[in-house]
Structure 1
């Protein structure tokens, strides 16, 4: 059962988040905090699997908390909750390994989905941030995309679905070493920096509907 902590400086917001998350019996909330120092203490004591972090903590950026929390070396994932985020904040969130960003205005089922996805080690970014995230991706020409082999297209489609190397290897009946080679080739051919950019690129190209087939 995944354990969660909530960090938000507004009591009513925390109450609302707690109410939504509590509807999923698979989740267990182990702590709540209104400030970063309190949150760090709870984090160190309870060591949750996932922390829901408000981006704007009354003048303190939630990303600063995530950076400070990294020093505790706790195996924990982070989901940012916000009404807006700048391109610089999105870029910093990615560099800190944040699992996802969800709008505070999201429907309850969207928040539950984001929590589930991130708690399982995959990435979730609200569609409203997709354009800004894609702006960080180097321009890709059609010829570069056409250079991808059928198997590389399958791997790229799997990345868009948030599959790990192990998942891809099992689905395509290839070794994890081969998957790593394919991912490296994909990034090189498309001029992308990492798996996240590759996944965003695949979504923009509609590859989420690409059918995976075994070799």
Structure 2
């Protein structure tokens, strides 16, 4: 497979300037400071790498699309979105998946983790962070209709506790590739659940009062 072509949307000049250097396995075709700039002159790409929090031009009152509004705008262009963010609140990231993001990685992740995530998003795989793995387990324990198989439940439980793939595979007497397949299937079920569940119901499922952290952005 050819190198994945990515567009980076981030209001940090450091991120925009250094992303290609730090991730040479990816082909950065263009960078933008805002979703509006990308909408006005979109570069062809395989995946959009999007910062979750985008601010308007410094010193102005101009508002820019960010968060779920930014995700929905890019998805409307029929492009997959991989979030590249410092945000770690599982409920916030879950609502981003609900809005259409295909994957989430953190800016503190090692470059090879980010590259793998972007390539997986290009291939149509759902990519989640450690916090979302924990959310998957929590929702399952509270009776959310995720429809996880017993093996998927075992893999998610192990990964939620930070166990390495080799350890998971040996404990369950399966190969690492098989463990990853169960994991990917469980992540896909999480996304399907989120996309068909109201924000209020998701809040309730994780034990939050209505409106605690969610908004219409």
Same fold (TM over 0.5): yes
Q: Is the 8 A contact 2:89 2:131 kept in 1?
A: no
RMSD: 3.4
Distance 1:41 1:134, change over 3 A: farther
Cα separation, 1, equivalents of 2:8 and 2:22: 12
- Alignment-derived partner of residue 30 in structure 2: 31
Cα shift readout 1:118-148 (whole Å, capped 9, x = no counterpart): 12111211224422343344535xxx967x9
Q: Is the 8 A contact 1:4 1:28 kept in 2?
A: yes
Cα separation, 2, equivalents of 1:61 and 1:71: 14
Which structure has the greater CA radius of gyration? Answer: 1
- Alignment-derived partner of residue 49 in structure 1: 46
Q: Report which stretch shifted further, 30-39 or 61-70.
A: 61-70
Q: Is the 8 A contact 2:7 2:30 kept in 1?
A: yes
Cα separation, 1, equivalents of 2:191 and 2:99: 15
Mapped pair 1:96 → 2:91: no
What SS class does the counterpart of residue 48 from structure 1 fall into? coil
Match of 2:12 among 1, 10, 13: 10
- Alignment-derived partner of residue 84 in structure 1: 87
The residue correspondences of 1:1-215 to structure 2 (distance < 5 A) are 1=2, 2-21=4-23, 23-24=24-25, 27-43=26-42, 46-58=43-55, 60-72=65-77, 74=78, 76-137=79-140, 139=142, 159-162=181-184, 195-196=189-190
Cα separation, 2, equivalents of 1:6 and 1:84: 17
Cα separation, 1, equivalents of 2:138 and 2:116: 25
Q: Is the 8 A contact 1:159 1:195 kept in 2?
A: no
Cα separation, 2, equivalents of 1:110 and 1:195: 22
Structure 2 gaps of 5+ residues are 57-64, 153-173, 193-217
What SS class does the counterpart of residue 5 from structure 1 fall into? strand
Q: Is the 8 A contact 2:126 2:188 kept in 1?
A: no
What SS class does the counterpart of residue 124 from structure 1 fall into? coil
Structure 1 gaps of 5+ residues are 149-153, 164-191, 199-215
Cα shift readout 1:148-196 (whole Å, capped 9, x = no counterpart): 9xxxxx9x96752436xxxxxxxxxxxxxxxxxxxxxxxxxxxx99623
Which has a greater percent of helix? 1
